[in-house]
Each structure stands twice: as structure tokens, then as C-alpha cells.
């Protein structure tokens, strides 16, 4: 299948590291014109050499998704340079761990400001261009926590559930302009943010035992899904949440299958 993203203008938030960077790298491989945004401008130093190696046009911009002014300025710069936005990937996000009784207002508000309102701000900023084009792909980072949350993750899980519902509403509103809006739910992909592979082995084993495919996910596997959703091949998919978690909790006690297989 040819995804044919050559020349498409793709904007990715939180692209300085982790899954966001991997998504941007994958889109460069597809020869899209990639725009990377991150609040940490130094974190975008990787982009220019990668863009030059890919032989495609692109742009790296500092952008704080918690600031409407910063978001609008970044989107204006993209439109001034390229005249359009074909793909928006709202990847920027933060964690906010803690039991409900221990979570303060600042933590709760910060998580929602980045994960939910940040997504809202970027979407709102690109909508006029996509509606004028009568085309576009908006792809929002949710999480498996939006489906089955963990104890101690109220702020994060609630924010990602909000992203899912926001995605569905926006998909409904943009249908008349042939703009699709979808969300993806990564499972356990090790990043600097979550530190999965730095945990004690017993903790890692307990987490891996919840997976039908008993291994950590890879950012590249998430990026492949995002590229598909960004392409014309996904033109009739909108308003949905795609699970890319290795079958996390698809069945009760999935580790039992490994025990059975190991005994044969």
C-alpha cells in the first residue's frame, strides 16, 4: 500500500523527543513537509539534519501549547511558509501521577492545560485553513488510560478520556469539509516520560503480564498507525479511537497463554 504523503504539510506537537519525534521522523521518510513544534526549542536540534537527509522541506518552531498566543503564532508561521496544513498530530502531553486525595489544583490544571486545552488550541488554530482546503487529517494522542485507567492516574486518565470525546465531537463538526479527526491510544511504549524500562524487573514483569503481545511497544509502531491515519487510505475513518497497545487487557490474564505455550 502506498500512503503517498509526499509534499503533505504535517505538523506535530511535542516533537522534541519520544513518540512525537519518532512520528516526525517517520513522516520525513514518507517525504512529507514536516513541521515540528515543542516547548523546548533545544529539543528540536535533531530536526534540521534529519530534514536535510530526507531531502524535503520543513520547519522547526518553539511553541507552548498552553499559550494561545504561542499556538496562533506558530500556525501563522506554518501557513505563511506553506499556505496549508494537511496533517495535524497533537502529540504533546504530560503525566500527572498521584492519588486523588493527594493531587493539588496546580497538577490537575497543568495536565488538562497541556493534554486537553493544548489540543483544543492547536485544532482551533488550523481549522480555518483545513476548512478552506476542504481537506485535512487531525490525529490526537489519547492513551490506553482513557479506556482502562490506573490507580494514581486520575488527572492523566481523565485528560485523555476528554481528548477522546473532543475528537469525536470535532469529527462530527468537520465532516462537511472532508476533514477527518481520530485519536490513537498507545499502550506501554518506553519513553523518558514514563521510564518503563528503568523500573525494577519485578515491576516490569507485572506490567508486561497485562499484554497479549508480551513486549514493550515501539514508537515506530505508533508512528506507522499515525501515518496510515494521515493518508488517503484512511479517508473513510473518522471519530474513532484506535488501540495500539499490544492487546493490553484484551483478555483476562493474557500471561496464561505464555505459561501454556512454555509448557509445550
Distance of CA 46 to the CA centre of its chain: 19
**Quick count: other Cβ atoms within 10 Å of Cβ 89?**
30
Catalytic residue check, 236: no
Catalytic residue among 156, 184, 236, 258: 156
- Tell me whether residue 263 is exposed, middle or buried, using C-beta atoms within 10 angstroms of its C-beta: 0 to 12, 13 to 18, 19 or more: exposed
CA gap 127, 29 in Å, rounded: 26
Residues contacting residue 109 through CB under 8 Å, at least 6 positions apart? none
- Tell me whether residue 95 is exposed, middle or buried, using C-beta atoms within 10 angstroms of its C-beta: 0 to 12, 13 to 18, 19 or more: middle
Could you give the residue numbers annotated as active site? 156
Amino acid at each position: 500500500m502506498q500512503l503517498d504523503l509526499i509534499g503533505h504539510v504535517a505538523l506535530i506537537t511535542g516533537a522534541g523527543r519520544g513518540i512525537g519525534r519518532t512520528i516526525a521522523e517517520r513522516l520525513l521518510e514518507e517525504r512529507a513537509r514536516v513541521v515540528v513544534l515543542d516547548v523546548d526549542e533545544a529539543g528540536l536540534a535533531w530536526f534540521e539534519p534529519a530534514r536535510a537527509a530526507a531531502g524535503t522541506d520543513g520547519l522547526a518552531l518553539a511553541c507552548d501549547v498552553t499559550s494561545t498566543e504561542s499556538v496562533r503564532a506558530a500556525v501563522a508561521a506554518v501557513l505563511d511558509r506553506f499556505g496549508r496544513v494537511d496533517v495535524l498530530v497533537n502529540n504533546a502531553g504530560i503525566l500527572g501521577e498521584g492519588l486523588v486525595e493527594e493531587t493539588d489544583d496546580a497538577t490537575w490544571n497543568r495536565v488538562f492545560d497541556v493534554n486537553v486545552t493544548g489540543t483544543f488550541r492547536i485544532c482551533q488554530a488550523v481549522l480555518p485553513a483545513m476548512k478552506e482546503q476542504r481537506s485535512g487529517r487531525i490525529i490526537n494522542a489519547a492513551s490506553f488510560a482513557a479506556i482502562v485507567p490506573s490507580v494514581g492516574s486520575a488527572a492523566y486518565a481523565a485528560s485523555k478520556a476528554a481528548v477522546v470525546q473532543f475528537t469525536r465531537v470535532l469529527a462530527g463538526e468537520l465532516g462537511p469539509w472532508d476533514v477527518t479527526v481520530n485519536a490513537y491510544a498507545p499502550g506501554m511504549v518506553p519513553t523518558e516520560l514514563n521510564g518503563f524500562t528503568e523500573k525494577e524487573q519485578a515491576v516490569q514483569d507485572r506490567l508486561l503480564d497485562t499484554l497479549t503481545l508480551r513486549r514493550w511497544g515501539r514508537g515506530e509502531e505508533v508512528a506507522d498507525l499515525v501515518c496510515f491515519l494521515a493518508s488517503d487510505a484512511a479517508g473513510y475513518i473518522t471519530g474513532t479511537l484506535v488501540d495500539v497497545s499490544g492487546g493490553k487487557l484484551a483478555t483476562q490474564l493474557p500471561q496464561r497463554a505464555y505459561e501454556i505455550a512454555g509448557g509445550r
